[in-house]
């Protein structure tokens, strides 16, 4: 049975028995010591606190007399039950609020959503892969191998840029699958795309610097960059992607998802990509290219990344394994121009030194042994079937209500809501929640006024549930 390593602080040498009693009693009342947990044996606690054993026994006897603990012969002393102690103002016990206040930026933000326990029957949320189909046994064997000596290393910290084998494997992977020209020295391993963007912002942006983002677009990078002190300006998108003519002239950084725009789903045209690169060269700006969901392309030629078209070293390519593997792994990367290599490596070091090494080493083997490519090919077929099914049902049963936006990649598709406003679309989705149907509206990702529409994900919903889920949604749309 686990014995509690209980800490007691003495304010003076007198009344030590009372101080032990009061601090154990307070720990029971505020829940730090839970019902059934054992207290340390009196002799052990006395030795640790360097006081007489009788001092501890007096405190234990007092706690037992008041019902806070129960002694069991031959077993020890145990907490009897939780006793929540109300404060004088009627509030439950807890630490004081304190005088410290966050910056105004944080007061204006909502708590991050906790979706871990929310499992709707018809889950059409965008950006969620099918975790049921991940090759867990293969991954478990790879992780287990990296947790044994000598694979786990000598106990020293690793390179902030990441595991050397994984950086080389990523460079080969994106070179083959996406045509990104990079070697291991250009790759820096991160805890997902969010950290990659955080590091880039820290390295490139002064306080008040202007950053341009797509509107609608992915909100977390926008909030992250604003939290660093940047002035974030939304720029509209059309059927060709980001409207380059709408970029502010003082933007120092542009965040785009050209291969599969989030959330609308179109690819940025070649003409528009070349315009963006030319604009960045004129303005001396940098571009973050989020190659969102590019692995899951179902039709047409692969979209050439901005990074491959860049001749000036202005594009920083970021990617993640959250969608093609599991979000819980939190493994991502960036490909940096040589001019930023040192600064980004140092920023990573200052942030968290390095990403956990055993998962990095396991992922390197997962890639090198062809298991990642095999998993992606399998999931591409499955997601394509779901994509086709949703398109078919929308065209058959939602005529006049929803018009799908052309898309041939990723884990979601979007559709324009023809029967009402953006607020009507939000109201319809709220009505769908009790029916077990969960998805996002386009307006959830917009800074300015959004076109009414729905974002329909198919990563997490099985093929056999799509028809019923969409029919339930149809009933809520009117």
Residues 33 and 173 in one domain: no
DSSP structural state of residue 188: E
Q: pLDDT, tens digit, for every residue of 252-261?
A: 999 999 998 9
**Counted domains in the chain:** 3
Q: What is the CATH number of the domain that holds 196?
A: 3.40.640.10
Chain centre distance of CA 298? 26
Closest listed residue to residue 351, CA positions, set 167, 161, 176: 161
- 57 and 157 in a single domain? The answer is no
Enumerate the β-bridge partners of residue 413.
456
Indicate whether 162 and 42 sit together in one domain: no
Same domain, 69 and 172: no
Task: Please check whether residues 321 and 448 belong to one and the same domain.
Answer: no
How far is 399 from 409, CA to CA, in rounded Å? 23
Three-state DSSP class for 3? coil
Residues 211-228 pLDDT 10s: 999 999 999 999 999 999
Q: Are strands 315-320 and 332-335 parallel, antiparallel or unpaired?
A: antiparallel
Q: Which residue has the tokens 């070349």?
A: 274
Calpha distance 292→197 (Å, rounded): 14
Interatomic CA distance for residues 52 and 33, integer angstroms: 23
| Statement to judge: residues 177 and 287 lie in one domain | yes
CB 34 within 8 A of CB 41: no
Q: Are 71 and 56 in contact (CB under 8 A)?
A: no
pLDDT band at 117 (very low <50, low <70, confident <90, very high): low
Domain that holds residue 60: 16-79
Average pLDDT over residues 14-33: 88
77-104 per-position pLDDT tens digit:
999 976 655 554 545 555 667 898 898 8
Q: Are residues 223 and 336 in the same domain?
A: yes
Question: What are the beta bridge partners of residue 454?
Answer: 415, 441
Structural domain contains residue 263:
yes
pLDDT of residue 285: 98
Same-domain status, 359 and 386: no
Gyration radius (Cα) of the chain, Å: 28
61: domain CATH number is 1.10.10.10
Count other C-beta atoms under 10 Å from residue 287's C-beta: 22
pLDDT at residue 58 greater than cutoff 90: yes
In a domain, 7, yes or no: no
Distance CA 54, CA 59 (A): 9
Token representation of residue 132: 């049921």
343 and 412 in a single domain? The answer is no
Q: At how many degrees (to 10) do helices 42-49 and 53-65 cross? A: 130
Alpha carbons 58 and 45: distance in angstroms, whole number: 13
Q: What is the pLDDT of residue 138?
A: 97
Per the domain annotation, does 301 fall within a domain?
A: yes
Query: Where is the domain boundary, 347, 369, 391?
Result: 369
pTM of the model: 0.84
213/335 same-domain check: yes
Top pLDDT among 432 and 108 is at: 432
454: domain CATH number is 3.90.1150.10
Q: Does any domain span residue 232?
A: yes
Give the strand pairing for 187-190 and 332-335: antiparallel
> Both 270 and 307 in a single domain?
yes
Q: Is residue 185, in this structure, part of any structural domain at all?
A: yes
């Amino acid at each position: 049975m686990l014995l509690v390593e209980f800490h007691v602080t003495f304010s003076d040498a007198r009344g030590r028995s009372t101080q032990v009693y009061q601090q154990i009693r307070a720990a029971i009342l505020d829940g730090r010591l839970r019902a059934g947990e054992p207290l340390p044996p009196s002799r052990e606690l006395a030795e640790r606190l360097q006081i007489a054993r009788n001092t501890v026994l007096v405190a234990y006897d007092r706690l037992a007399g008041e019902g806070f603990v129960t002694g069991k012969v031959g077993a020890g002393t145990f907490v009897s039950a939780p006793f929540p102690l109300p404060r004088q103002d009627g509030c439950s016990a807890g630490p004081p609020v304190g005088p410290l206040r966050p910056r105004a930026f944080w007061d204006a933000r909502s708590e991050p959503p906790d979706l871990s326990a929310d499992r709707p029957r018809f889950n059409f949320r965008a950006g969620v892969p099918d975790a049921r189909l991940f090759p867990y046994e293969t991954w478990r064997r790879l992780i287990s191998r990296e947790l044994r000596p000598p694979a786990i290393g000598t106990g020293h910290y690793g390179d902030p840029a990441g595991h050397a084998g994984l950086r080389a494997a990523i460079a080969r992977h994106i070179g083959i699958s996406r045509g990104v020209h990079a070697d291991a020295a250009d790759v820096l391993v991160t805890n997902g795309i969010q950290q990659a963007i955080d590091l880039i912002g820290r390295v490139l942006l002064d306080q008040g610097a202007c950053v341009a983002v797509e509107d609608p677009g992915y909100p977390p990078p926008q909030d992250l960059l604003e939290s660093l002190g940047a002035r974030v300006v939304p720029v509209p998108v059309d059927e060709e992607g980001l409207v380059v003519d709408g970029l502010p002239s003082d933007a120092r950084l542009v965040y785009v998802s050209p291969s599969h725009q989030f959330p609308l789903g179109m690819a940025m045209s070649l003409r528009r990509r070349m315009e963006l690169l030319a604009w960045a060269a004129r303005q001396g700006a940098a571009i973050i290219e989020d190659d969102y969901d590019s692995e899951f392309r179902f039709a047409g030629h692969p979209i050439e990344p901005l990074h491959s078209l860049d001749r000036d070293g202005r594009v920083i390519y970021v990617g993640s394994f959250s969608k093609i593997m599991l979000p819980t792994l939190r493994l991502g990367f960036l490909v940096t121009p040589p001019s930023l290599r040192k600064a980004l490596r140092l920023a990573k070091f200052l942030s968290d030194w390095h990403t956990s090494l055993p998962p990095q080493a396991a992922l390197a083997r997962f890639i090198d042994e062809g298991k990642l490519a095999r998993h992606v090919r399998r999931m591409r077929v499955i997601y394509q079937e779901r994509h086709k099914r949703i398109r078919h049902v929308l065209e058959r049963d939602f005529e006049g209500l929803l018009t799908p936006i052309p898309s041939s990649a990723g884990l979601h598709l979007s559709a324009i809501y023809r029967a009402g406003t953006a607020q009507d679309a939000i109201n319809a989705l709220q009505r769908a929640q009790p029916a077990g149907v969960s998805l996002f509206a386009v307006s959830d990702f917009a800074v300015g006024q959004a076109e009414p529409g729905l974002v329909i994900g198919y990563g997490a919903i099985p093929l056999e549930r799509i028809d019923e889920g969409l029919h339930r949604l149809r009933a809520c749309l009117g």
